[in-house]
A and B are shown apart, each in its own frame.
Chain A
Amino acid sequence: MAEEKNKLTMIVLSGDMDKVMAGYNIATGAAAQGMEVVIFYTFWGLKAIQKGNLTGKGLFGRMLGLMNRGGIDTIGPSRLNFMGMGRWMFKMMMKSKGITPLSELQKLSFELGVRHLACQMSMDVMEIAREDLLDEVSDVAGVATMLEHASQSKVTLFI
């Protein structure tokens, strides 16, 4: 079995602003403490690491790409989104309290050396290509890679 390191693995399946933000807060906090951090984005989590262009090849893929536009600035809260109104309100509230905006939090995670892995299976199903993801994404991987990281981690979280 793999030996345990000072490491944190996080699986981000949610594409909601509140959940992704909690994830990045934890990831950057852990990195600030000297932990090695790996984030594995799957399913809706891919939205957080998409560039925001239209995705998809086949009919369903392109319909999904249109209805499910990705990008860190486009994702909304898991409740009370009100077609984007809630997202705007939350961003205003966070700004007034001096909270680091989500896009900056993500940029911080890149700077702090957090490893970002995209789920190959989700990408295939949702017809999202490597070029549709941010350049900072370290690699494309599958469940075995994620499990290897998780086996070595003190902390593994599912967001």
Chain B
Amino acid sequence: MPVVKLSQAIKNISVGGLVEATATDPGVLADIPAWTRSTGNELVKIERQEKVIHFLVRKKK
């Protein structure tokens, strides 16, 4: 589950750090922005290239 992996990855970095990831689950287009809003982190970029979605999240707190 992408949001779960993102939450685990972001736990290990310091505030201001970035997590870059790719996913094939089309649900992430809605899930990652919702997750960043709920957790107060910043969604820097999210884009889809055919079957793969790239996203970049910055840890704000």
Q: Is the CB of B35 within 8 A of A32?
A: yes
> Is the contact region of chain B dominated by helix, strand, or loop, or is it mixed?
helix
Q: Is the CB of A33 within 8 A of B35?
A: yes
Q: Is the CB of A32 within 8 A of B1?
A: yes
Given contacts A32-B35, A33-B35, A33-B39, contact A98 B4 (CB under 8 A): no
B3 within 8 A of A: yes
* CB of A28, distance to nearest CB on chain B (Å): 5
Number of interface residues, chain A, beta carbon within 8 A = 12
B38 within 8 A of A: yes
Number of interface residues, chain B, beta carbon within 8 A = 11
A145 within 8 A of B: no
Q: Is the CB of A112 within 8 A of B24?
A: no
A138 within 8 A of B: no
Q: Is the CB of A34 within 8 A of B1?
A: no
Pick the residue among A31, A32, A98 that contacts B25 (CB under 8 A): A98
Q: Is the CB of B3 within 8 A of A32?
A: yes
* Complex CA distance for A105 and B39, rounded to whole angstroms: 22
Given contacts A33-B3, A33-B7, 12 further A-B contacts (CB under 8 A): A25-B1, A29-B1, A29-B3, A31-B4, A32-B4, A32-B7, A33-B38, A33-B39, A34-B38, A100-B1, A105-B1, A108-B1
